A and B are shown apart, each in its own frame.
Chain A
Amino acid sequence: MITRDSLYSRLLTWLLLPLLALGGLMLFQAWLDARQTADRAFDRLLEAATLAIAEQVQWQDDRLWLDLPPAALEMLATDAEERVFYAIYDNRGRFVTGNAELPGIDSDGANADDGLYYRDIQWRGLALREGVRRTRLEDWRQRERFDVRVAHTREGRERLASQLLRGNLAYILGMALLAAATLVIAIRTALAPLTRLRRAIRARDPRTLAPLELPLPRELAELRETLNELLARMRRVRANQERFIGDASHQLRTPLAGLSARAELALRQDDPTQWRQALVAMQDTSARTSRLAIQLLSLTRLDNPEYRPELSPVALDDIARQAVKQHWSACHRDGIDLGVETPQTTVKVQGLDWQLEEALGNLIDNGRRYGARRITVRVADAPPVLEVEDDGPGIPEARRLLMLRPFHRGSDDPDGSGLGLAIVDGIARTHGARLGLEDGHDGQGLRVTLIFPGALS
């Protein structure tokens, strides 16, 4: 049998199983009730028979005497033709008369009170219902105590009990069918909005991100709201992407247009020195453009949520030294003091060396570009921190968050792409590190810190 997981079958199972258990319980109860009722009705016969016999017990010839009324025995056999047994016992438990030696109520029967007792017994392999009447002679000379014990087989009781049970059975079955039918209808009705929701989603244009609009019950309305929130987020993401693409093409178009204009201008000249100047300028522009393209590429890669690079242990101080070594000559040419501060011991984190190098490169480049005189790369221990501080103009606090967005530049510097800090932000996210933008030393300049989650020992 193939079991398909569905809400419908789950609900049906979890509602029908208890219902079934309940029905079984009711049946069992009905059976007990029927038995009890039948026993109560038929115990009246035992009561009447013992009474009829007890009334005929007398004291005669110095002993208990009974003139057994046949009717007393006949009343014990109903239409079901039960087997009938009776016996009289005296106060010491001795058999006086009867057609069967029936057991008494207990072994020391002398202690029991007068009265009528019923119980089920097994006698020679027959299941009997016994009635024991413990009473005394109503005689002013003799108050001898005696037992009248009668018993009959259970056919009549069982017949009545099964009749009662059959009546109840029809009732219980009817109820169960009604309950099951109601249940099925109720579950179908309750699950109908789910089908509507599914149809509404399936019928949508796959390109649209418009919110779902259809009336639903509360529980599903929550699901619809969640879906709509997701759609709204996707709309924002798409808007961002569209803007990014627009910005990127704009950024690339400007230098390409410059290249084209310069080449056109140079072609109008006949002087080879002019050509040479133009070629130098064009080489410079194309180098910048290619750097921009590389930055765009890495930013795109960093922004991709599917991108999960495998991190390996890297030494932060090595990376810092390497970056300083790489950028030192460029800075020196511009008269910038580039320095590095590292602790005594090696600081290791999980990371990608080339990404961290690029981040440092971007930060150093930014500092150089925005007119810093001194740039310090700093590595700290516990927690591991990579930090670049400059003494340039810095960024006012209100604009720091904006700076993390691509193509947003601090000034109208035609050289900058506006991607540097956005890329650093992406790299920090990849490493699970926290990016901080603060004022530099003495409230001047900018300090960018990358605080890593934990050091590797």
Chain B
Amino acid sequence: MVSEAGDVQSFLVQHPPFNQLSENQLEFASANIYVAFSKPGNELQLNKSTLDGPKTGMLIVRSGSLEIRDQQGVLIDRLSSGDYLVPGVLYSNTRNIPRIVVLEDCLYYELGDKAFQSLTATSSEMAAICETDKTHTVYSDDTGDDGSYQADDEVERKDVYPGQYVKDTMSSVIIFAAPDTSIREAAQLMREHHISSLLVKDKAQLVGIVTDRDFRIRVLADGVPDSDAIRTVMTPDPMCIEVDSLLQDAQLKMMAEGIRHLPVLDDQQPVGIISQTDILRENNIEPISLIHSISRTNSIDELSTVAGKIPDLVVKLVARDTRAIEVGKIITTLSDGITKRLLSLATEEFGTPPCDYAWLAFGSQARQEQALGSDQDNGLLLPDSISAEDAGYFKDFTGYVNNGLDQCGMPYCPGGIMAKNEKWRMSLQGWKSCFSHWIEEPSPKALMHASIFFDMRLITGNTELVLELQAFVLEKARSNTIFLAMMCDNALLHSPPLGFFKTFVLETDGDHNHTLNLKKRGTIPIVDIARNYALSVGLPALNSTDRLYAIKQAGAMSGEMSYSLIDAHEFIAGLRLDAQGKQYSAGLKTDNHLDPKELSPLLRHQLKDAFNVVREAQAAKKARFGGGVL
């Protein structure tokens, strides 16, 4: 007899968990394999031993595909070549025994139960597949450490683009302190506002600046007590720069003086502060010049031409390994710029609005997480005192802006959540009662559409109106556990696409056969989790990453879980951007679908782990907010 590994054995050795077995174990496994075939539509009955044949301990798909659904018809898993299932595990829930149905002509291997049992007894890899929900978290290396990635980017971003101005890059959030403020108070102030420098003002006069570095060099290193006044450690009469200066002048000045922060003056008054970090970050040439072009346009046509360059920019950013979170922020910044420009164009077109208003962005734009082709979600917040006549003004006004956004690549919202719909142009009182209704009498269906309203951000207009509405919503939501539980239930409808045995469950609808919907199955669940927790703690943060940090700070989620989620979010968003970039470059319409076959095995593995993190977080969330109404 000729010695031959045989087709079965050479197939097994390529697939987990068999690739982990020793040669003897593999031979043993292959000696206990029975090959069977079933045509589409047939149901496999693995719990009954077929006739007198041996009972099946494990089933491995050789070719074709199978589908596992529970009694209610909900898809549990889909198996194709190389995937396996363990009837013992699958049938362990005797109340809801899943059905295994053949999708495509399926040739499969059955491993006899006795052989399977003895393999699990001798191989830990085989034993592990019986515990299907094994958890592992692989992301912890590059968590929350912005330092490293900025350092990488410095290399590429060092050349400053002529024609950029300080006023566009500076941070206009400036915090002042009196010279007599204690060092400790000053440090607390900086922590509170997440800033690295503080301006010292005596009466109306700028007298000095303190930075993180001063605390290190002049306070800690010299052992100065923290009760001393900051006057003693500040840099007096700091170098300043005019608001109209070129960005490169600011950079030259800082480099020449060896300093990292420059207060920005407009007519002798400080209006902002610019740091080296700002320059490095914002020297992403294209976004800045695009924003400039946007602010210089004079018609919707011009604006849409400029907006047409955004996809190119995104492709470049992705190619440059910019973090997905940053890309989301850049896209949103551009969308914000476009919206603002459209609003002022509308004002030119229809005359000055008769009263104050606030243009609100909802959903991804509010969270600063837009992707290419994200549709617009917006509304208008008006003062309570508004007359019916004044309200009429906004009809054409909002129609103009919504249409403009559509032309600039942010398509109309399919759900109609747009300011041009009268329904979403409301007074403060109207919005309040709307939110009250969602929060106090939640119905699952209404909530499904309403959840994006809970991500709300002012684009242009009256800040006080928005602040009042936000405070109202946060307070109301936080105290209503039924609402939170409902929202949680709703969010669980979007489950990560992982099968029972940690394989991908692919979409089968429409044009997107055998793909993963990264947005629906990956991003949305994370966003939902972040929103759910943020509302429960009453956090005003909007961006999912910010929310997750804040949730962890508030003690509502373990650090491990929140960091894992942040990384999973970044990873999935990165893949999604990458895929969109490729689609765009290939001249295809961008969407959120990804064929896992296009991923390298390592990425595929990481993606599975990312989805697994999401699944765990969903389970934790369910435990926290309860399943359904009491």
A joins B in a complex: no
